[in-house]
Amino acid sequence: MASSSVFAGLAQAPEDPILGVTVAYNKDPSPVKVNLGVGAYRTEEGKPLVLDVVRRAEQMLINNPSRVKEYLPITGLAEFNKLSAKLIFGTDSPAIQESRVATVQCLSGTGSLRVGGEFLARHYHERTIYIPQPTWGNHPKVFTLAGLTVRSYRYYDPATRGLDFQGLLEDLSSAPSGAIVLLHACAHNPTGVDPTLDQWEQIRQLMRSKSLLPFFDSAYQGFASGSLDKDAQSVRMFVADGGELLMAQSYAKNMGLYGERVGALSIVCGSADVAVRVESQLKLVIRPMYSNPPIHGASIVATILKDSDMFNEWTVELKGMADRIISMRQQLFDALKTRGTPGDWSHIIKQIGMFTFTGLNSDQVAFMRQEYHIYMTSDGRISMAGLSTRTIPHLSDAIHAAVTKLK
């Protein structure tokens, strides 16, 4: 007889809406199936990619007999933290030169957001964070569990499939003074829509005038445009004015270190002595959460960032990934144009980064899954990195059929 369980009354939890797409895809026996849900880079052949420079760095680490597996400090690998701050803020950043940055190694982007969120819930006077509408599905969950109240500000305009800049400014203007505002540094997920530099400057001025605290999430530095510096411009504008901010960094996409869970949280402070105290309090958030971070992925990143040859090799490989995605955008746009698919599809080439917000509705998405075995999230977000020259005709046929048959 089966023994009863104290957990027998538990309901079956729903699949994560993003990861659930892959679960459904894996169950589909169709030979023509395409998975456009996954937020991970794929080669033209549809295979995961480990960068050559990453393999080289790993080999160097393995061949070094003096390397040990001791615990890292609570704050992580010091060299990694220093190099990460320089990568996002710039080597000549005044904040770094004045020792106003507290950086801790965290568990990729998600961990960095969670640690930052818990730090703010404990030590910041305003416990409300404004996140863009829409945003990455994990953002509201992470910040709510960290102890913050989540509100949203307008961001995407479905009519233009671009930025609702007016709505964004209005919502941030009416936010309470001192509120926290989450900003995607570049390649907004899920829409691929970014403000222009002029718009960023207006956002910066408005936020500083109302003492709104910026919390940047940078998951795609170098991966969006192919240039590390260009993709960090928004962040650096906010650092240049001398104000404070939080910065969550991930190396999942730009170094392809997804499963290594490598990230950093940096807090730019008003002075060097405040930065020291901030770091001391970050340790108290991290210690009871996971004690200290893993050593391997951070060592890979530090190995690459500190060596000029390896760094240059990385930038070439990084640009290669960014360029392939940009070329997929162009090919998809051209294919839809050739088919005379109803509607304006120029947003596909205007948007940037891993994802495109197609504008397809949930019925059209369901139709494409059923009839064409194409998998994406129900909001119509597709991962451009999951496409290839081989699969674009199939996707274009599916989109054409969906928008023609279903309004």
The residue annotated as part of the active site, out of 33, 136, 194, 345, is 136
Q: Which residues pair with 35 in a beta bridge?
A: 375
**Residue 265 has what DSSP assignment?**
E
The residue annotated as part of the active site, out of 171, 194, 217, 231, is 217
* 86 assigned to active site: no
The residue annotated as part of the active site, out of 171, 253, 314, 345, is 253
Measured CA distances, 84 to 30, 52, 294 (Å): 43, 20, 16
Question: Of all helices (H) and strands (E), which one includes residue 249?
Answer: strand 245-250
Amino acid identity of residue 337, one-letter, is K
β strands within 76-179, DSSP E? 101-107, 128-133, 149-154, 156-157, 162-163
Among 240, 249, 244, CA closest to 186: 249
* 253 assigned to active site: yes
* 345 assigned to active site: no
Residue 215, helix vs strand vs coil? strand
Beta carbons within 8 Å of 234's beta carbon, 6+ residues apart: 183, 185, 186, 194, 195, 197, 200, 216
Residue 159 near residue 322, CB atoms below 8 Å: no
Residues forming the active site: 136, 217, 253
